[in-house]
């Protein structure tokens, strides 16, 4: 009998595995992109032991999809959230999702309402505090109206009005070298240029390069590629002196010409959702010089022809993506990427780990994805362990509806201990299915410090149930009661 109990005990230990962390909600009534994908970041900042988060929420059932920019603070020690503070008026545009960052004086900045518009820039009156109402925030300098461009129209460039060149879409903010704040964004509509501005006085004034970084439609009418556009993601180097920008390209095709939407790989006309190839450039934030990864100088703004010739790190051969890749830094400080790409059919997708190895760009499959718009997260620990947080599901997420049109599924964590050559599933991080039946999730994002370094054991994402109703819920995953800062950027 003793032997039986001993064997039973050993079997129980062998079968036992630690439970995955349980995400907790912090906002409700969110519309699509309640928390944005990798193009627009960050929506949280870890400052002086607390996490400050912003999101779009507060929609009223049956009253449309209007939401408001909101903020809340989480205390990791007590595991409690503050009261939610509403920071702006309601809007139906999901692009108006807020972002948040902290300056060198620990004042919080929030920017929202950005979609071909300057948006609203607020700064907290008290350092390290969201306050109790909008009255605890002051109006800060508008960023986009201060942009200035040379009054030059190239022969192969369509003229743009001043208002078209002073918009601000998909803003992403980092703290870089010398305590400066950097904001990277698209200047207008789909085929507009992407550029950046820097501030050395905590957001009071902004300045940047004379030329934008990219403007894919400058391929020109002679090449027939005058409406090409891109989606971009970015990450500074460890010392903050350089910025890596990864992007995917697509034909904006405003004429809706089916011939231009024809995909020769799949021998069919596609919807125009597919973004092709993978490109990478490096920006010197001291000199504003732009090079490809190998250091070859680029003529800016980079058009689609120059991008194809000198900046392409993966010719996907008409395999398509929705969002640009998530980025981390490898052991050498070089960018490594998590990318979603179509496979055998236009509705079959897979996550890839893309990195430079042996002087070549290599791609290793991780696991399947059920949609081209699933936006994941890639991180790397000091010991070299890689984490890929991915959105997965059975089949293809082929659904209609305002909430469903950009993918969604369950959330899994995959890891690699051999520099990304092989991957294994670690955890299912999906919230309790009995508490959130029928929910789908997307847009996984790290919790970071003001300098962009990741906080161990914490990330955020959002989920929803109904295809049409704005019933989004934002979640914070907190693995440890006392998270410590990591030296590795997300």
Looking at residue 424, which CATH number applies to its domain?
Answer: 2.120.10.10
CB of 480 closer than 8 Å to CB of 31: no
Q: Average of pLDDT values for 475-480?
A: 90
Q: In which domain, by residue range, is 165 found?
A: 21-478
Residue 12 lies in a domain: no
Q: Average of pLDDT values for 438-460?
A: 96
The string of DSSP letters for 352-393 reads: EEEEEETTEEEEEEEEEES-TT---EEEE-TTS-EEEEEEE-
Q: Average of pLDDT values for 113-142?
A: 96
Question: Which of 42-46, 161-165, 221-225 tops mean pLDDT?
Answer: 42-46
Residue 259 lies in a domain: yes
pLDDT on residue 165? 52
Work out the number of other CB atoms within 10 angstroms of the CB of residue 5.
9
Q: Rounded to whole angstroms, how far apart are CA atoms 31 and 15?
A: 41
Q: Average of pLDDT values for 361-367?
A: 98
How many domains are there within the chain?
1
CA gyration radius for the chain?
22
Task: State the average pLDDT for the chain.
Answer: 89
Residue 325: is its pLDDT beyond 90? yes
At CA 468, angle to CA 462 and CA 472, rounded to 5? 20
Of the candidates 144, 88, 139, 94, the one whose C-alpha atom is nearest the C-alpha of residue 116 is 144
CB of 173 closer than 8 Å to CB of 193: no
HSE-up of residue 301 (Cα within 13 Å, Cβ side) = 30
Residue 16 lies in a domain: no
The string of DSSP letters for 267-294 reads: TEE--S--EEEEEEEEEETTT--EEETT
CB of 349 closer than 8 Å to CB of 387: no
Residue 490 lies in a domain: no
pLDDT on residue 338? 98
Q: Rounded to whole angstroms, how far apart are CA atoms 390 and 486?
A: 21
Q: Average of pLDDT values for 35-44?
A: 98
What band does 283 get if pLDDT is binned at 50, 70 and 90?
very high
What band does 218 get if pLDDT is binned at 50, 70 and 90?
low
pLDDT above 70: percentage of residues in the chain: 87
What band does 74 get if pLDDT is binned at 50, 70 and 90?
very high
CB of 136 closer than 8 Å to CB of 111: no
pLDDT single digits (tens) 401-431: 889 999 999 999 999 999 999 999 999 999 9
pLDDT single digits (tens) 291-323: 999 999 999 999 999 999 999 999 999 999 999
Residue 81 lies in a domain: yes
Residue 73 lies in a domain: yes
Residue 32: is its pLDDT beyond 60? yes
pLDDT on residue 115? 94
3-class DSSP assignment, residue 178:
helix
Of the candidates 233, 280, 196, 278, the one whose C-alpha atom is nearest the C-alpha of residue 378 is 233
Q: Average of pLDDT values for 37-62?
A: 95
Q: Average of pLDDT values for 444-467?
A: 96
pLDDT on residue 191? 87
Q: Rounded to whole angstroms, how far apart are CA atoms 85 and 137?
A: 10
pLDDT on residue 8? 37
> Tokens 């979609």 sit at which residue?
115
Sheet holding 169-175, edge to edge: 169-175, 181-186, 194-199
Q: How far lies 221's CA from each of 154, 165, 190, 216, in Å?
A: 12, 20, 17, 12
Residue 13: is its pLDDT beyond 60? no
pLDDT on residue 461? 98
Cα–chain center distance at 43: 10
What band does 484 get if pLDDT is binned at 50, 70 and 90?
very low
pLDDT single digits (tens) 180-211: 999 999 998 888 899 999 999 999 999 999 99
pLDDT on residue 480? 64
Residue 161: is its pLDDT beyond 50? no
Q: Rounded to whole angstroms, how far apart are CA atoms 377 and 239?
A: 21
Residue 113 backbone phi and psi in degrees, to 5: 75, 30
- Pairing outcome for strands 137-139 and 169-175: unpaired
Residue 13 backbone phi and psi in degrees, to 5: -65, -40
Residue 236: is its pLDDT beyond 50? yes
Q: Rounded to whole angstroms, how far apart are CA atoms 43 and 173?
A: 10
pTM to 2 decimals?
Answer: 0.91
CB of 99 closer than 8 Å to CB of 84: no
pLDDT single digits (tens) 106-123: 999 999 999 989 999 999
> Tokens 């082929």 sit at which residue?
398
pLDDT above 90: percentage of residues in the chain: 80
CB of 371 closer than 8 Å to CB of 341: no
> What size, in residues, is the chain?
490
CB of 490 closer than 8 Å to CB of 45: no
Residue 407 lies in a domain: yes
Residue 441 lies in a domain: yes
pLDDT on residue 146? 45
């Amino acid at each position: 009998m003793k032997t039986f109990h001993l064997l039973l005990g050993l079997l129980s230990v062998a079968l036992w595995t630690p439970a995955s962390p349980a995400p907790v909600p912090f906002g409700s009534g969110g519309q699509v992109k309640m928390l944005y994908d990798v193009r627009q970041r960050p929506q949280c900042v870890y400052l002086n032991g607390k996490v400050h988060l912003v999101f779009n929420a507060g929609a009223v059932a049956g009253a449309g999809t209007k939401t408001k920019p909101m903020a809340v603070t989480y205390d990791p020690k007590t595991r409690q959230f503050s009261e939610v503070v509403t920071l702006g008026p309601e809007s139906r545009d999901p692009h108006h999702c807020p972002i948040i960052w902290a300056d060198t004086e620990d004042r919080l900045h929030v920017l929202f309402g950005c979609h071909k518009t300057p948006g609203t820039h607020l700064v907290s009156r008290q350092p390290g505090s969201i306050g109790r109402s909008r009255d605890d925030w002051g109006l800060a300098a508008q960023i986009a109206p201060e942009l200035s461009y040379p009054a030059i129209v190239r022969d192969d460039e369509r003229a743009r009005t001043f208002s078209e060149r002073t918009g601000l879409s998909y803003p992403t903010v980092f703290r870089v070298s010398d305590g400066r704040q950097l904001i990277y964004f698209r200047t207008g509509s789909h085929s507009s240029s992407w550029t950046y501005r820097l501030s050395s006085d905590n957001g009071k004034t902004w300045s940047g390069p004379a030329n934008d970084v990219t403007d894919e439609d400058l391929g020109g009418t002679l090449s027939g590629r005058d409406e090409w556009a891109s989606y971009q993601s970015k990450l500074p180097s460890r010392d903050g002196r350089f910025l890596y920008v990864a992007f995917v390209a697509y034909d904006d095709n405003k004429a809706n010409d089916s011939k231009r939407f024809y995909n020769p790989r799949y021998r069919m006309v596609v919807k125009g959702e597919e973004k092709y190839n993978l490109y990478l450039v490096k920006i010197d934030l001291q000199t504003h010089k732009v090079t490809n990864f190998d250091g070859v100088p680029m003529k800016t703004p980079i058009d689609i022809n120059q991008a194809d010739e000198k900046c392409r790190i993966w010719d996907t051969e008409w395999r398509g993506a929705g969002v640009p890749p998530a980025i981390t830094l490898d052991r050498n400080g070089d960018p490594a990427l998590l990318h979603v790409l179509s496979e055998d059919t236009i509705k079959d997708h897979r996550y890839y780990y893309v990195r430079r190895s042996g002087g070549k760009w290599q791609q290793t499959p991780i696991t399947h994805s059920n949609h081209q718009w699933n936006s994941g997260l890639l991180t790397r620990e000091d010991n070299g362990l890689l984490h890929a947080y991915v959105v997965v599901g059975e089949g293809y997420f082929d659904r209609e509806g305002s909430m469903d049109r950009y993918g969604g599924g369950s959330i899994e964590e995959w890891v690699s201990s051999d520099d990304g050559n092989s991957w294994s599933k670690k955890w299912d991080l999906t919230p309790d299915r009995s508490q959130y039946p029928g929910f789908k999730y997307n847009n996984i994002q790290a919790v970071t410090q003001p300098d962009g370094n990741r906080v161990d054991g914490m990330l955020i994402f959002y989920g929803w149930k109904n295809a049409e109703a704005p019933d989004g819920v934002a979640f914070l995953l907190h693995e440890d009661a006392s998270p410590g800062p990591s030296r590795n950027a997300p």
